[in-house]
């Protein structure tokens, strides 16, 4: 990470921190060391640079304290902009210069650097595993044609998927109904919440959609439901697990009673 961020321990202080923990915290057993350099990284070079820098330190910590594992953290990015197209394996073979870092390329690059440590190596590929496996399904409520923009108001909002407004995150959005023509129009896809930041996409070219049509906001499997909230007293949607032709509700849709549960006025 960056020195101006709140995370981690300064590199030059690591050995002192471990020494102090070993001397003063007798109920703790020093088992390992973890690093994390960032998020949504789509090339192998930052990982290689970080591992090369940290490996000598890990070797020293191992020699002094007998640690058993080294976690190289997460940060492997996913394909947000070609989420739908990149589903088939053939896409990855045909578009080698477009797709993000693969697990194989990642492993091939860092394994030779890590093997000499003789430690158990952990990694945390959360977004990579679930990001493109999830989609937020939302229904168009109505259209508003403003003086400068077209707005498609949908029933999902920033409380359901906050990445677009919080991180300026880009999510591919596709209509569930196949468009009849190749016509497109530029519009903002916005929710019903009383915030200017309540949008899922801005100035997005999409096939014309009308009230009642459904849209899929793709790549919502990571940092979607886990960052959702009840802002504006909005119950959170259900989560459905799809396995082939089988669909199972794995998290029930909230009710207003669920949202208000635990509140009391005396």
Q: Are residues 119 and 139 in the same domain?
A: no
Whether 254 shows a pLDDT value over 90: the answer reads yes
Q: Are residues 113 and 151 in the same domain?
A: no
Contacts of 255 (CB under 8 A, 6+ apart): 235
Q: Are residues 97 and 148 in the same domain?
A: no
Last residue of a domain, one of 96, 112, 129: 129
* Domains held by the chain: number: 2
Residue 6 in any domain: the answer is no
- Which residue range is the domain that position 242 belongs to? 134-260
CA dist 83 and 99 (Å) reads: 10
Q: Are residues 247 and 150 in the same domain?
A: yes
Q: Are residues 144 and 255 in the same domain?
A: yes
Look up residue 36 and give its two tokens.
């994390």
- 139-173 per-position pLDDT tens digit: 999 999 999 999 999 999 999 999 999 999 999 99
Structure confidence at residue 99 as a pLDDT band (50, 70, 90): low
Residue 2 in any domain: the answer is no
Residue 266 in any domain: the answer is no
Task: Name residue, tokens 């995370």.
Answer: 7
Q: Which residue has the higher pLDDT, 144 or 88?
A: 144
Structure confidence at residue 76 as a pLDDT band (50, 70, 90): very high
Q: Strand 173-175 and strand 32-34: pairing?
A: unpaired
pLDDT of residue 88: 82
Last residue of a domain, one of 105, 129, 153: 129
Active site positions, annotated: 194
CATH number at residue 196: 2.40.37.10
Whether 106 shows a pLDDT value over 90: the answer reads yes
CA dist 122 and 52 (Å) reads: 16
CATH number at residue 15: 3.20.20.10
Q: Are residues 60 and 117 in the same domain?
A: yes
Q: Are residues 117 and 141 in the same domain?
A: no
Last residue of a domain, one of 75, 102, 129: 129
Q: Are residues 89 and 195 in the same domain?
A: no
Residue 109 in any domain: the answer is yes
CA dist 171 and 200 (Å) reads: 8
Alpha helices, DSSP H only, in the chain?
A: 14-24, 45-65, 89-94, 103-114, 126-130, 163-166, 256-260
Look up residue 80 and give its two tokens.
């947000």
Q: Are residues 213 and 107 in the same domain?
A: no
Q: Mean of the pLDDT values across residues 88-102?
A: 77
pLDDT of residue 32: 97
pLDDT of residue 93: 78
Residue 182 in any domain: the answer is yes
Q: Are residues 237 and 149 in the same domain?
A: yes
Residue 54 in any domain: the answer is yes
Task: Kindly list the distances between the CA atom of residue 227 and the CA atoms of 11, 26, 110, 234, 236, in Å, as whole numbers in the listed order.
Answer: 30, 37, 31, 14, 11
Structure confidence at residue 102 as a pLDDT band (50, 70, 90): confident
């Amino acid at each position: 990470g960056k020195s101006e961020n709140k995370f981690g321990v300064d590199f030059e202080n690591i050995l002192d921190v471990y020494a102090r923990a070993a001397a003063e915290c007798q109920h703790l057993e020093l088992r390992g060391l973890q690093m994390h350099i960032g998020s949504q990284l789509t090339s192998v070079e930052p990982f290689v640079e970080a591992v090369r820098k940290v490996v000598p330190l890990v070797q020293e910590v191992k020699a002094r304290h007998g640690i058993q594992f080294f976690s190289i953290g997460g940060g492997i990015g996913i394909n947000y902009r070609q989420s739908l197209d990149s589903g088939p394996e053939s896409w990855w073979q045909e578009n080698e210069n477009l797709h993000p870092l693969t697990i194989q390329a990642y492993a091939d690059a860092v394994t030779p650097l890590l093997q000499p440590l003789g430690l158990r190596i952990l990694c945390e590929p959360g977004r990579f595993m679930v990001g493109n496996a999830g989609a937020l399904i939302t229904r168009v409520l109505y259209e508003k044609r403003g003086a400068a923009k077209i707005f498609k108001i949908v029933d999902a909002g920033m409380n359901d998927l906050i990445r677009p407004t919080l991180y300026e995150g880009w999510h591919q959005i596709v209509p569930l109904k196949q468009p009849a023509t190749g016509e497109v129009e530029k519009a903002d896809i916005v929710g019903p919440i009383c915030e200017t930041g309540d949008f899922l996409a801005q100035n997005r070219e999409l096939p014309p959609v009308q009230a009642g049509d459904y849209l899929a906001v793709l790549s919502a499997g990571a940092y979607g439901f886990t960052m959702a909230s009840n802002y504006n007293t909005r119950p959170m949607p259900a989560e459905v697990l799809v396995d082939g032709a089988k669909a199972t509700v794995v998290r029930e849709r909230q009710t207003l009673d669920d949202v208000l549960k635990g509140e009391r006025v005396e």
